[in-house]
């Protein structure tokens, strides 16, 4: 009976040492080690076994803390036992003492004994908990050397590679991991395929999906491969896979037939797609998905009446189906029956308030009719339903900006100080906030940056506007409208004229007969002192149908610079006929008397 008593005495001795000051701890540790070394080896090993048995017993009794303390004592008695040290490390980890557990594991792995994959798995996990990702990766790779099928190691390495944006390496590990799950690894295969695509290796993605389909012939892999083929522009191959699935899964025929029909549509074979859908409709009449797709095809084929019949069937069979009202609204738009279109689109939104396409179509209807107040209302409701959707916030801001342009007191004048237009200024500030939110959610929605720059310019926030517009030009190098807009602002203020020249040259190279672009170049040439060429550009702009008041002002100004006062006076007169209070025109009229 003296052995358990001695074990308790030794445990109490160590516990008392742990409570002392630093110097006393070292002394206590030394004394404990001396005490241990004074015990014969055979007896110490016996103490270690008995204390380990006590640890197991305490654990079974639901006393994990005491079990850990007993395990620590067993490891103290036999510090050279690799297995015992590793067991203690596992216990320490269970108590979230990762740093201590890692220190124990690092010592244990240097002890003689057989290496086990599970030991390195534990080490990798501890390194991750301590934030040492590089060390964790080394440990995971050691696991794979010992056990090439370790799911934990493959997942760990895949996750680390993905976190480093090393898409190809991550895809490779996820692909290997999927093989360990067989037919249950479809989500891993699709994830690996997606990473191969991000890596710019679509062939590797397709090869992975095809290999899993060929190896498992599991329908889920077939569908995944078909979807990939569709998304990568190979619809004919997708149809082949789907047809083979139809033979294997006759109970899923409606869904697979629908996918096949959509694949045929993607390949431009609308007639074949329609035939398949008609056959589906004959077998399973009034299926909402089938009817919606048939109607959409007919609508695309300009078979308006046939499409209407289909959507009315859908509405009768499934009155709560938002799609039928949506498409009936589109049909009404084709016939320019705007009131009817509003009715159907609103009905669709009442049935499905989260339908993004319907919201956009509903709001754009009002913008196309120049009903900016109604558009603001629609897009405000849209953004309330989708507060984190950047398109919703952008469209609300865009409608507010349009409303601001309509709210100015002098719409034919190019620019008014913000303090002279309080209503328009307030609307533009609201629009700017919406664009701020849009870009905070999605920095890649480049159009929002251009629109915010335009609003900021109207608010007199010149430096911020230029920052936005320059970035918009960088992000959209092929957008001639943005280049022209910034070029005109520079020309109008007589600054950055070389940059303006480059910008308007880029715009005109894509659309040489655009009257707005020609006017910008004319105004820029006027600023550069090239009045003759400036007049040619402005007159050509007018001859191409541009009748904007600003261009008439430009023409009158250039004529004055050329000394052609009678012609300039006539141009100023035309401006005053349209806007009697125009300040620049009144001054020009007086100058040319």
Distance CA 209, CA 188 (A): 11
Alpha carbon distances (Å) from 366 to 114, 372, 477: 75, 7, 30
Distance CA 52, CA 81 (A): 12
Angle between helix axes 167-181 and 151-163 (nearest 10 degrees) is: 160
* Cα torsion angle, 482, 488, 494, 500, sign: positive
What integer is the mean pLDDT of 235-245? 83
- Local structure of residue 409 (DSSP, 8 states): S
Report the predicted TM-score, pTM, of the whole model to 2 decimal places: 0.59
Assess whether pLDDT exceeds 50 at residue 6: no
Contact 524, 487 (CB under 8 A): yes
More reliable by pLDDT, 470 or 327: 470
Range with the poorest average pLDDT among 225-229, 269-273, 476-480, 526-530:
269-273
- With vertex at residue 203, the alpha carbon angle to CA 200 and CA 207, rounded to the nearest 5 degrees, is 135
Most confident of 87-96, 107-116, 283-292, 481-490: 481-490
Assess whether pLDDT exceeds 70 at residue 348: yes
3-state helix/strand/coil string of 546-578: CCCHHHHHHHHHHHHHCCCHHHHHHHHHHHHHH
Q: Which residues contact residue 144 at a Cβ distance below 8 angstroms, ignoring those fewer than 6 apart?
A: 150, 153, 154, 157
Q: Is 227 helix (H, G, I), strand (E, B) or coil?
A: helix
Assess whether pLDDT exceeds 50 at residue 15: no
- The tens digit of pLDDT for each residue in 198-219 reads 898 988 988 998 888 888 888 8
Task: Please give the pLDDT value at position 439.
Answer: 96
3-state helix/strand/coil string of 112-151: CCCCCHHHHHHHHHHHHHCCCHHHHHHHHHHHHHHCCCCH
- The tens digit of pLDDT for each residue in 537-593 reads 999 999 987 778 899 999 999 999 999 999 999 999 999 999 898 888 899 999 988
Distance CA 431, CA 535 (A): 37
């Amino acid at each position: 009976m003296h052995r358990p008593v001695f074990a308790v005495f030794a445990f109490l001795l160590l516990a008392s040492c742990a409570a002392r000051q630093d110097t006393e701890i070292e002394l206590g540790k030394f004394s404990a080690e001396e005490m241990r070394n004074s015990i014969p080896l055979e007896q110490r090993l016996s103490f270690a076994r008995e204390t380990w048995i006590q640890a197991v017993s305490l654990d079974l009794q639901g006393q994990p803390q005491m079990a850990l303390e007993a395990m620590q004592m067993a490891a103290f008695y036999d510090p050279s036992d690799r297995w015992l040290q590793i067991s203690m490390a596992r216990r320490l980890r269970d108590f979230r003492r990762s740093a201590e557990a890692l220190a124990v594991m690092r010592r244990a792995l240097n002890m003689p004994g057989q290496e086990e994959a599970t030991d390195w798995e534990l080490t990798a996990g501890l390194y991750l908990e301590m934030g040492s990702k590089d060390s964790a990766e080394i440990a995971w790779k050691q696991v794979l050397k010992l056990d090439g099928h370790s799911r934990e190691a493959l997942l760990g390495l895949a996750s680390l590679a993905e976190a480093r944006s090393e898409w190809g390496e991550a895809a490779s590990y996820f692909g290997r991991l999927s093989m360990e799950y067989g037919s249950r690894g479809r989500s891993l295969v699709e994830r690996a395929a997606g990473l191969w695509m991000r890596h710019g290796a679509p062939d590797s993605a397709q090869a992975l999906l095809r290999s899993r389909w060929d190896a498992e012939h599991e329908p889920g892999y077939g569908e995944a491969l078909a979807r990939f083929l569709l998304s990568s522009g190979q619809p004919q191959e997708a149809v082949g896979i789907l047809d083979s699935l139809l033979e294997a899964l006759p109970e899923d025929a409606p869904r697979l037939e629908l996918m096949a029909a959509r694949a045929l549509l993607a390949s431009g074979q609308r007639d074949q797609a329609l035939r398949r859908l008609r056959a589906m409709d004959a077998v399973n009449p009034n299926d909402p998905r089938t009817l919606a797709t048939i109607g959409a095809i007919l609508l695309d084929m300009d078979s308006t009446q046939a499409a209407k019949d289909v959507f009315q069937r859908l509405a009768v069979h499934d009155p709560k189906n938002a799609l039928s009202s949506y498409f009936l609204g589109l049909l009404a738009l084709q016939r320019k029956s705007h009131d009817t279109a509003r009715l159907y689109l609103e009905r669709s939104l009442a049935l499905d308030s989260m339908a993004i396409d319907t919201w956009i179509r509903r709001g754009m209807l009002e913008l196309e009719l120049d009903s900016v107040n109604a558009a603001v209302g629609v897009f405000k409701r849209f953004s309330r339903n989708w507060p984190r959707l950047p398109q919703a916030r952008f469209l609300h801001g865009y409608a507010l900006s349009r409303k601001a342009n309509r709210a100015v007191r002098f719409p034919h004048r190019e620019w008014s100080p913000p303090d002279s237009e309080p209503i328009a200024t307030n609307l533009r500030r609201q629009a700017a906030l919406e664009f701020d939110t849009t870009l905070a959610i999605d920095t890649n929605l480049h159009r929002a940056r251009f629109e915010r720059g335009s609003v900021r310019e109207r608010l007199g926030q010149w430096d911020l506007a230029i920052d936005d517009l320059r970035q918009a030009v960088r992000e959209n190098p092929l957008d001639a409208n943005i280049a022209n807009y910034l070029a005109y602002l520079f020309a109008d203020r007589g600054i950055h004229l070389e940059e303006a020249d480059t910008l308007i040259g880029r715009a005109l190279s894509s659309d040489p007969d655009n009257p707005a672009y020609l006017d910008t170049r004319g105004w820029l040439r006027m600023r550069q002192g090239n009045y003759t060429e400036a007049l040619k550009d402005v007159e050509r702009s007018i001859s191409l149908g541009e009748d904007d008041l600003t261009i008439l002002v430009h023409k009158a100004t250039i004529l004055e610079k050329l000394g052609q006062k009678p012609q300039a006076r006539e141009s100023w007169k035309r401006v005053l006929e349209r806007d009697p209070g125009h300040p620049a025109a009144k001054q020009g009229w007086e100058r040319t008397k």
